[in-house]
Structure 1
Amino acid sequence: MPAREVWRFDAIGTVWEIETDTALPDGVREDVRALVAAFDLAWSRFRADSAVSALAGGAASVPAPPDAGPMLDAFAALSAATGGAVNPLVGGSLESLGYDASYTLAGGDPRPAPDDWRSLLSWTDGMLSLTAPATIDVGALGKGRLVDRVLAVVSRHVDGDIVVDASGDLAVRGTPVRIGLEHPYDRRRAIGVWEVSDAALCASAVNRRAWVDAAGDGLHHVLDARTGLPVRAVAATWAVAPDAMRADAVATALFFDGGPEIAAEWGVSWVRMTTDGRLEWSPESKAELFA
């Protein structure tokens, strides 16, 4: 992409890059920062003043953030497709293994997420409510949702080509961009490239947000909510969709049975790599794979 300007900043625990043909005006940058800050204040389980932390601490209800409906509706579809493996109340499972607000990363006993989450969590009448304290984690699709919203803000003010890249979850408007698909076991290598235009590509891999517990066991952030344990069969996934939230959601779902089915239902193309090195892909995938 012939973009000439790159704005880099840190947000929600990762590095962002926004590429445009011309420099973003200060007002647009301020709008992006405000949007990201509001999203973080609503959904971060790593800060004590967030809405989800209030619910985890015992609050019955909080005003529903603007993204509650789209994201939790998508979670309901993911949960149904994967037999409950994807669940927005998996935050407690991650905390039990040490991926908590203090980043203790010490490991612990696996804790399955509540399998009746649909009866515990509601998002109606402008309120986000829990009937019992639990920790919401929207990592399965939240960053993709934020990428979409940031792209919308930038697009209102900027003509020409735009790339919004949130470290693995990105959206492209305009000129096609060739994106390398990073090998999950060697960041210096790619297993292929995927050309994306006016669409989003999201990836997930077990080498990201990974740690070793006190017993020396390797852990990572992609958990099966039914067991509270990290998945072991799939190493990395990539998904392309018209919007980043659905691409991000499918990239998560592809770690489980049912992932390819919801991808087909949503019109999302994909590639995944299993932990024994095999590559699988959807029939309509346009990725150029090297092996």
Structure 2
Amino acid sequence: MRIINRTLSRRAAILLGSIPFALLIGAYAIASHLRRIDNPADKLLPSLGSMGDAIWRMGFEADKRSGDYLLWLDTIDSLSRLAVGIFISTLLAIGLGISIGFIPHIRRGLAPFVATLSLIPPITILPILFIIFGLGETSKVMLIAIGTAPVMIRTIAQAVMDIPRELIIKAETLGASTWQMITRVVLPQVMPKLITAIRLGLVPAWIFLISAEAIASTSGLGYRIFLVRRYLAMDVILPYVAWITLLAFILDRLLLMASRKAFPWNHLSGDSL
């Protein structure tokens, strides 16, 4: 049997997937050890043990000044901002994306505008958001929404236009109104694409979140990373980066699981990235 036609068991898939991570950790441990042989006080590549101590201190020992468990406080604040921003983007993607994709007049009026907005680097308008909304939570949430909504809207609009025309014709033949076609034909067809759009939107959303927190915030994962960098605290920075990566991975897998559960017909081909 050719290799492209072979299927893997779940255990083999997990094993193969873990190999790159194990190699990365092993390579880091070796590099850290070699650097500390020459300089035991080296801060660039701290040992795995020192990073474990740092993450324990941040997550399970109350801060002496505030009494907070900083890792969990930062995590809650960052995830809250991310959730609100993505929620706004999702609502805009559903409302405008379906309208642009399904109604020609709206498509002609709004599609060029949305396409133009999607090409603006959101980081460049961060100072404008700070001026308009201040340095509070609103500016950070708006950066996430503005950075992710246009692309999500275009994705949903394209998904609507890709719906087979025969389905629309059948609904019209049965006397369905425009609203009924949107709710009973269009919306069920694009919901899997919406989850995919959210998954893809989370990637830039994390970038915008960390950037906003680094510039103007008093809590959050991005704020903590840029706060301790002045002390060259790589034993805190690297675990925080790994923690952000883990959170992003978990959110992505949860969305994929939800899509498979709610829309199994969209995953009939088997594997999904």
**TM-score interval, smaller chain:** 0.3 to 0.5
Say which structure is richer in helix: 2
| Larger-Rg structure | 2
Scaled by the length of structure 2, the TM-score of the pair is 0.32
Scaled by the length of structure 1, the TM-score of the pair is 0.31
Select the structure with the greater relative contact order (CA < 8 A; seq sep ≥ 6).
2
